[in-house]
Amino acid sequence: MKFEEKQGKGNVVSTKNIAIMAIFIALSAVGAFIKIPSPIGSIGLDSAPGFFSAIAFGPMIGAVVTAVGHLLSAAVVGFPLTLPIHLLIAVGMGVLAALFFFIGRRGTLGLLFAIVIVALLNGFALGLFLLPIGGKALYLSMIVPLLIAAAVNLIIAGLAYLGLKNSTLIN
């Protein structure tokens, strides 16, 4: 019996799923070097592969890829918000990736709605983690860059999904 068969078809720890996560984490690492200008410098195109992997392969895979992608993007610039805050943001990004899956898989309108909702939550809700570090001023200064970055990452992921959703490459 193969490892995947023992673990069950939907288990995140299958060999296939680990390979998928590794590929998309590597893409996130590349995206981590493509920065979107902001006061803290850790915002980049690292989450597009995570959001795509969430909607294409499932919420747990996407959550892992998105969380690790955020940590890679923050590491590139030296964890400007401190490691504990970036860990909280990584968990939040994982939750948003799962949410993107659950809303985005409901047709084209669902995908559009998911892009809008997840971008707004990324900008306004996850931005709240900035309050302990820089107060209201940092939070307010980061809303627009976070919204732009989230929208760009989500649109890239959404377009890739629309292009591949009927192929045999994704679940």
Q: Give the whole-angstrom CA distance, residue 44 versus residue 37.
A: 8
Contact call for residues 26 and 69 (beta carbons, < 8 A): no
What pLDDT does residue 10 have? 59
Give the closest residue to 25 by CA, choosing from 70, 59, 55, 58. Answer: 70
In this prediction the pTM is 0.90
Contact call for residues 80 and 74 (beta carbons, < 8 A): yes
Q: Tell whether 75 is covered by a domain.
A: yes
Q: Tell whether 170 is covered by a domain.
A: no
What pLDDT does residue 161 have? 96
Burial class (CB in 10 A: 0-12, 13-18, 19+), 151: middle
Q: Tell whether 132 is covered by a domain.
A: yes
> For residue 59, what is the domain's CATH number?
1.10.1760.20
What pLDDT does residue 168 have? 86
Q: Tell whether 71 is covered by a domain.
A: yes
**Average pLDDT over all residues of the chain:** 91
Q: How would you classify residue 4: left for phi > 0, otherwise alpha for psi between -120 and 50, otherwise beta?
A: alpha
Q: Tell whether 78 is covered by a domain.
A: yes
What pLDDT does residue 167 have? 87
Q: Structurally, how many domains does the chain consist of?
A: 1
Q: Tell whether 24 is covered by a domain.
A: yes
Phi, psi of 90 (to 5 degrees): -60, -45
3-state SS, residue 16: helix
Helices 107-120 and 48-57 meet at what angle, rounded to 10? 140
Residues of the chain falling short of pLDDT 50: 1-8
- Two tokens, residue 143: 């809303």
Burial class (CB in 10 A: 0-12, 13-18, 19+), 168: exposed
Q: Tell whether 169 is covered by a domain.
A: no
Q: Tell whether 153 is covered by a domain.
A: yes
The range of the structural domain enclosing residue 14 comes to: 3-164
Give the closest residue to 47 by CA, choosing from 26, 70, 64, 80. Answer: 70
